[in-house]
């Protein structure tokens, strides 16, 4: 099941990658750099805010596979989700909007309510996605990705071409809200069909479920640890953006956000994220059954594939990135190939780190993951101070990002091997 799920997810994500890439070229030609920077910066802010509490999905996966009270833990998880998303949408986002974004982006003149509605819609999609993930409806998750992509593109084209709205960042936000809520209604329909027991109305409430043991406390503890892990990692993922936002130029930031980072994260979404998405619940199940041999077999095959893939993707990028980007994107984005050629070296290491992290999370060692991700952001800071302030290296924030990723890889590998040694003693 794991192999077929990963292949299906990667294949579907590859299709989505191609469609999104073509559409991003269209946006780069039709929308100004300033408008695209505003839109992507808002989405990045969302991602950082969401990472403050996103660890609850890992806590759910771990406890859901270990408890027989599955409905109760799903209710606790839903109550937590509603409270956190509500506080974020109507307290945190208005504060960030008025205190930070308005000051940093001169052209920002949209109401914070639209941004909050976008945040809510994005998280509702994630909520149903987690339900289908933890109950192992993997095919539905893959189909969800395709539908969401075409809904988003269709909504933008509808407002821009048919309705005739101006081509600025506002249309991207309006279209995202429309497509997201359509997607939410589709997922509600699928949930009622395949998982009627987990109806949102039955799950939602103001208080957690009651357990005879400390399940709720364990859920909160794991959520805090996992969320801290995601937040720290998020700081590393978005560190180059916020560095450029404060110390760089609009052109530099646009080249990174629209082209280099977009291509890099598209590759991550095809070749890396599906691994973490499906490996974690599967590894959690295998470890609970003490089926360590299957894990070792998966690891050996994965390493062989990763060596071949890593060499091919890095060499291909170094040879072709300038030609491809120069042909597809407007001339003002041409220098982004240099940024992409730096980022690409981190890709195979990030892919294997997903494997190591899945094992570490599956055994419930969230503290270790927090230490690992903290080493990444610390490495970024040290690397940036050295490369930018001392050596005056061009693209120092991007080189520092790669340094941070390598630090996370090596430390993850170290702890993974420690866990493997502990299994041999059982």
Instruction: State the pLDDT confidence band at 274, using cuts at 50, 70 and 90.
Output: low
- Straight-line distance from the first to the last Cα atom of the chain, in angstroms, rounded to the nearest whole number: 27
Which residues have a Cβ under 8 Å from the Cβ of 273 and sit 6 or more positions away? 13, 354
Rg (CA), the chain: 21
**Chain segment 317-362, per-residue pLDDT in tens:** 999 999 999 998 988 899 999 999 999 999 999 999 988 988 988 8
**Looking at the predicted structure, is the pLDDT value of residue 173 above 70?**
yes
Q: Spell out the SS3 assignment of 97-147.
A: HHHHHHHHCCCCCCCHHHHHHHHHHHHHHHHHHHHHHHCCCHHHHHHHHHH
How many whole angstroms separate alpha carbon 206 and alpha carbon 156? 37
Residues near 241 by Cβ (< 8 Å), separated by ≥ 6? 41, 44, 253, 256, 257, 261
Q: Is the pLDDT of residue 67 over 90?
A: no
- Helix, strand, coil % in the chain, rounded to nearest 5: 85, 0, 15
Q: Contact 276/358 with Cβ under 8 angstroms? A: yes
How far, in Å, CA of 77 to CA of 83, rounded?
A: 10
| CA atoms of 309 and 312, how far apart (whole Å) | 5
Q: Using a pLDDT cut of 70, give the percent of the chain over it.
A: 95
Q: What is the mean pLDDT of residues 369-373?
A: 89
pLDDT for 290 equals 84
Give one DSSP letter per residue of 282-347, joined into a string: HHHHHHHTT-HHHHHHHHHHHHHHHHHHHHHHHHHHHHHHHHHHHHHS-GGGTTHHHHHHHHGGGH
Q: Would the pLDDT of 399 be above 90?
A: yes
Distance CA 182, CA 426 (A): 50
C-alpha span between 12 and 14 (Å, rounded): 5
Task: Report in angstroms the alpha-carbon separations of 126 from 2, 50, 183.
Answer: 21, 11, 11
Angle at 218 (CA atoms; ends 216, 223), nearest 5 degrees:
95
pTM of the shown model = 0.77
Mean pLDDT of all residues in 281-308: 85
* Residue 260 pLDDT: 93
15 class by beta-carbon count within 10 Å (0-12 exposed, 13-18 middle, 19+ buried): middle
Cβ atoms of 274 and 13 within 8 Å: the answer is yes
1-5, 229-233, 313-317: least confidently modelled range: 1-5
More confident residue, 33 or 142: 33
Per-residue pLDDT at 5 exceeds 60? no
Number of H helices, E strands in the chain: 19, 0
Higher-confidence position of 409 and 250? 409
Report the distance separating Cα 26 and Cα 349, nearest Å: 31
pLDDT tens-digit map of 76-130: 889 888 998 999 999 999 998 888 888 777 778 899 999 999 999 999 998 998 8
Residue with tokens 């596979």: 65
Poorest-confidence range of 183-192, 249-258, 370-379, 407-416?
A: 249-258
Question: Please, what is the average pLDDT of the chain?
Answer: 86
């Amino acid at each position: 099941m794991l192999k077929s799920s990963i292949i299906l997810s990667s294949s579907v994500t590859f299709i989505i990658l191609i469609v999104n890439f073509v559409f991003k070229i269209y946006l780069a030609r039709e929308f100004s750099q300033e408008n695209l920077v505003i839109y992507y910066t808002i989405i990045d802010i969302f991602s950082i805010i969401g990472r403050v509490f996103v660890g609850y999905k890992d806590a759910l996966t771990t406890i859901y596979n270990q408890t027989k009270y599955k409905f109760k833990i799903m209710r606790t998880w839903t109550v937590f989700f509603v409270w956190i998303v509500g506080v974020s949408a109507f307290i945190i986002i208005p504060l960030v909007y008025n205190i930070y974004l308005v000051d940093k982006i001169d052209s920002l003149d949209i109401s914070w309510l639209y941004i909050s509605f976008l945040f809510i819609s994005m998280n509702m999609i994630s909520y149903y996605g987690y339900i289908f993930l933890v109950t192992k409806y993997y095919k539905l998750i893959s189909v969800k990705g395709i539908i969401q992509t075409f809904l988003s593109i269709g909504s933008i084209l509808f407002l821009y071409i048919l309705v005739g709205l101006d081509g600025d960042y506002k249309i991207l936000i309006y279209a995202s809200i429309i497509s997201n809520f359509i997607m939410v209604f589709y997922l509600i329909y699928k949930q009622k069909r395949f998982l009627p027991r987990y109806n949102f109305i039955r799950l939602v409430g103001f208080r957690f479920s009651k357990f005879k043991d400390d399940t709720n406390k364990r859920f909160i503890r794991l959520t805090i640890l996992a969320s801290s892990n995601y937040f720290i990692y998020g700081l590393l993922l978005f560190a180059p953006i916020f560095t450029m936002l404060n110390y760089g130029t609009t052109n530099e930031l646009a080249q990174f956000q629209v082209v280099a980072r977009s291509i890099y994260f598209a590759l991550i979404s095809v070749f890396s994220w599906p691994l973490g998405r499906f490996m974690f619940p599967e590894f959690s199940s295998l470890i609970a059954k003490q089926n360590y041999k299957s894990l070792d077999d998966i690891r050996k095959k994965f390493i062989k594939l990763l060596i071949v893939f890593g060499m091919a993707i890095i060499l291909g990028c170094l040879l072709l990135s300038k030609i491809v980007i120069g042909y597809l994107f407007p001339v003002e984005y041409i220098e982004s190939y240099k940024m992409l050629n730096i980022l690409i070296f981190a890709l195979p290491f990030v892919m294997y780190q997903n494997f190591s992290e899945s094992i570490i999370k599956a055994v419930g060692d969230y503290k270790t993951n927090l230490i690992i991700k903290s080493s990444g952001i610390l490495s970024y800071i040290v690397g940036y101070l050295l490369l930018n302030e001392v050596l005056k290296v061009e693209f120092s924030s991007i080189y520092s990002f790669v340094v941070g990723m390598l630090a996370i890889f090596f430390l993850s590998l170290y702890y993974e091997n420690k866990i493997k040694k502990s299994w041999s003693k059982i």
